[in-house]
Amino acid sequence: MEQLITFANNHPLLCAAWAAIVFMIVVISIRIKLSPVKQVSPQELTFLVNKNDGLVIDIRAEKDFKVSHILDSVYFATDKANNNDFTSLEKYKDKPIIVVCTAGLTASKIANQLLKAGFNQVNLLKGGMNAWLAAGLPTAKSKK
């Protein structure tokens, strides 16, 4: 314990940076837990689609979607979301919607926009398409 105090006295900036990082991790973890947008695993995504008639919307670049996407997922351009144009998804307002991006980082913005537009069950694929592929789950290619 004495060494820790000595280290803290000799390196106050490092200790402050460490404390700030720990604080940010705690805050982000709490925000994720309290968020109305839930993060789901690839297995939970499969359950939502098969048992609850969920819809998977893929917001990656269209060329990436054409190369490989989750079976029965729908391509959704981020431009539409930025303009709050969710008319093509209106019939899914009361069904689970799972937003998929490449790594699970950019989907939260669109998921929050869907919530504001009145969609009730919005989810994110935790880890994005990378997690789906890492789990060895099937993908499809667009014929277009």
Structural contact between residues 112 and 86, judged by C-beta atoms closer than 8 angstroms:
no
Residue 126 tokens read as 């935790």
Per the CB < 8 A criterion, the answer to whether 64 and 101 are in contact is: no
**Annotated catalytic residue within 101, 114, 125, 129:** 101
Q: Other C-beta atoms within 10 Å of 92: how many?
A: 19
**Residue 11 CA: distances (Å) to CA of 2, 18, 43, 119:** 14, 11, 45, 49
Q: Is 15 a catalytic residue?
A: no
Rounded to an integer, what distance in angstroms lies between the CA atom of residue 98 and that of residue 108?
Answer: 11
**Catalytic annotation, residues:** 101
